Amino acid sequence: MKTKIGIIGGSGLYDIDGLQGAAWVDVDSPWGAPSDAILTGTLDGIEMAFLPRHGRGHVHSPSTVPYRANIDALKRLGCTDVISVSACGSFREDMAPGDFVVVSDFIDRTFAREKSFFGTGCVAHVSVAHPVCPRLGDACETAGKAAGVTVHRGGTYLAMEGPQFSSFAESKLYREVWSCDVIGMTNMPEAKLAREAELCYASVAMITDYDSWHPDHGSVDISDIIKTLGANSNAAKAMVAGLPALLGAVREDCPHGCDRALEHAIMTAPDARDPALLAKLDAVAGRVL
């Protein structure tokens, strides 16, 4: 199998540089329209696909991002590996604005989003005990450091619904009681859906602020975040540029089983499955259906 890298860009990251044969492509999905057209091309001989999570011009809020359509569209395009790059707040003094965190786990506090491709007529249960792919995490860490970024390997991402930022009490709860490391609004249900679609997934949190817990920084100020986003976005583009050489052109089976997540996940008997739902699952679950 050939490697095809999908990049989902968060706030401040609406394209990537250096793609050869770059073209914006519209992808039809049975789960609705994706956030935007997808920028396709090659980088160092490796096929790439870039999707701006909020759309160019930042038109989607965290709650209205069409997560299912986005993941389905990347799978339809043939992506084998998906890397999320998103702006986040930090709960750790040493994870400072401008630093990157290669996320290792999530706590999902979102409540207003569709979180699965499966449901009545075709029930499936995948494991998200380890929701990110260590192989992709290794590549992101190496590429980030090569780009001159301070990279922290491992951290728990608290996914909140938003669009408001945390209260002081929430920030203290997530930091002091739940021991979270970063906070954002968009990696859930994205990571869960990527697992259902049998896509390797990694998340890079670009730190923009200290949320509202830090005694010397006060509450989150969107103007301060915007100032940091520019530098973070340039660093993220440099990190992305280093990924093709690290991941290589030939895609072997994932040693962690991400690309076989549906192997024993579908519970509904074949004769009880809803044909209409199966048709929508053609890209996501076609391998097992």
Q: From the candidates 36, 72, 209, 259, which is the catalytic residue?
A: 209
Does 36 qualify as catalytic in the annotation?
Answer: no
Neighbouring residues of 262: CB distance < 8 A, sequence distance ≥ 6: 124, 126, 196, 198, 285, 287, 288
53 is in an annotated binding site: yes
130 is in an annotated binding site: no
Q: Which residue has the tokens 């906070």?
A: 183
CA distance 157 to 106: 5
Q: Does the annotation list 86 as a binding residue?
A: yes
209 annotated to bind ligand: yes
The reply, when asked if residue 87 is annotated as ligand binding, is yes
Strands (E), the chain: 4-9, 20-25, 38-43, 46-52, 81-90, 100-102, 105-108, 151-153, 156-159, 182-184, 200-209
Residue 63 annotated as part of some ligand binding site: no
Q: Is there a catalytic annotation at residue 211?
A: yes
Of the residues 99, 108, 211, 259, which is catalytic?
A: 211
User: Would the annotation count 202 as a binding residue?
Assistant: no
Buried b (16+ CB within 10 A) or exposed e, 42-72: ebeebbbbbbbbbbeeeebebeebbbbbbbb
Question: Which structure tokens are listed for 69?
Answer: 């359509």
Residue recorded with tokens 């390997």: 153
Q: Is 3 annotated as a binding residue?
A: no
Residues that constitute the known binding site = 11, 53-54, 86-87, 185-186, 209-211
Residues that constitute the known binding site for phosphate = 11, 53-54, 86-87, 186
Please list the active-site residues.
209, 211
Residues that constitute the known binding site for substrate = 185, 209-211
